């Protein structure tokens, strides 16, 4: 789920960057440092704006200045039970690894419908029902997150495609384009 959060970051600045464009440089550096990062609880998608930039404090002994920046950012925090769209990154007999943006998700073979079986003879490796449902690298899946795990700078999730309206078939249906005709 996406949220708008007010966050704080301290940035140190070398004296060679002091001058009339200091605030512009700090804002650029903020974008480079935090956009796309993960703090273990959420991913920072984008920085909207810098709300306030403090006066710089010179760090004794080094000459660098330390600035505190308060900013607003759009963040994404995955929740247990959330339904997400993913792209399969690898497939093996244990299950499927998929990416939901920056979040890696593992779908165990036990959490894939029983009619979709591992095909050890297929190239590329895949799960298939020998019909229209095939899960291989690059396949788009609709996954329900069963749980998430956080580390210091990353997150991981476990997902399922075993429930209704999940998996390959429902991704195909939702991406169809419908032709609209004028009835005369």
Summarize the confidence of residues 37-58 as an average pLDDT.
94
**Could you tell me the end-to-end alpha-carbon distance of the chain, in angstroms, rounded to an integer?**
44
Q: Is 39 left (phi over 0), alpha (psi -120 to 50) or beta?
A: alpha
Question: Could you report the per-residue pLDDT of 143-156, keeping only the tens digit for each?
Answer: 999 999 998 889 99
The residues near 32 (Cβ < 8 Å, ≥ 6 apart) are: none
Say if residue 75's pLDDT is above 50: yes
- The token pair that represents 114 in the structure block: 């029983």
Task: Collapse the DSSP code of 142 into the 3-class scheme (helix H, G, I; strand E, B; otherwise coil) and give the result.
Answer: strand
Tell me, what's the pLDDT at 171?
A: 57
Tell me, what's the pLDDT at 182?
A: 46
Place of tokens 């329900």: 144
Tell me, what's the pLDDT at 178?
A: 47
- CA gap 135, 93 in Å, rounded: 12
Tell me, what's the pLDDT at 69?
A: 97
Tell me, what's the pLDDT at 169?
A: 66
10 Å CB burial of residue 78 (0-12, 13-18, 19+) is buried
- Give the other-Cβ count within 10 Å of 91's Cβ: 24
Tell me, what's the pLDDT at 9?
A: 96
Q: Are 102 and 43 in contact (CB under 8 A)?
A: yes
CA 174 and chain centroid, separation: 21
- The model carries a pTM of 0.81
- CA gap 137, 123 in Å, rounded: 11
Question: Could you report the per-residue pLDDT of 19-28, keeping only the tens digit for each?
Answer: 999 999 999 9
Summarize the confidence of residues 56-62 as an average pLDDT.
91
- CA gap 64, 83 in Å, rounded: 46
Mean of pLDDT over the chain: 90
pLDDT band at 175 (very low <50, low <70, confident <90, very high): low
Summarize the confidence of residues 67-79 as an average pLDDT.
96
């Amino acid at each position: 789920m996406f949220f708008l959060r007010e966050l704080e970051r301290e940035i140190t600045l070398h004296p060679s960057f002091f001058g009339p464009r200091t605030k512009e440089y700090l804002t650029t550096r903020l974008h480079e440092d935090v956009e796309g990062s993960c703090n273990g609880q959420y991913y920072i998608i984008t920085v909207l704006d810098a709300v306030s930039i403090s006066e710089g404090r010179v760090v004794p002994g080094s000459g660098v200045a330390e600035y505190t920046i308060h900013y607003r950012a759009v963040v994404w925090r995955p929740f247990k039970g959330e339904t997400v769209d993913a792209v399969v990154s690898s497939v093996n007999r244990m299950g499927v690894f998929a990416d939901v943006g920056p979040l890696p998700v593992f779908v165990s073979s036990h959490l894939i419908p029983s009619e979709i079986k591992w095909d050890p003879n297929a190239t590329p490796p895949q799960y298939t029902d020998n019909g229209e449902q095939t899960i291989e690298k690059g396949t788009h899946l609709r996954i329900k997150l069963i749980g998430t795990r956080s580390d210091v700078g990353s997150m991981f999730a476990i997902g399922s495609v075993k429930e209704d309206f999940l998996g390959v078939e429902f991704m195909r249906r939702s991406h169809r384009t419908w032709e609209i005709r004028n009835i005369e």
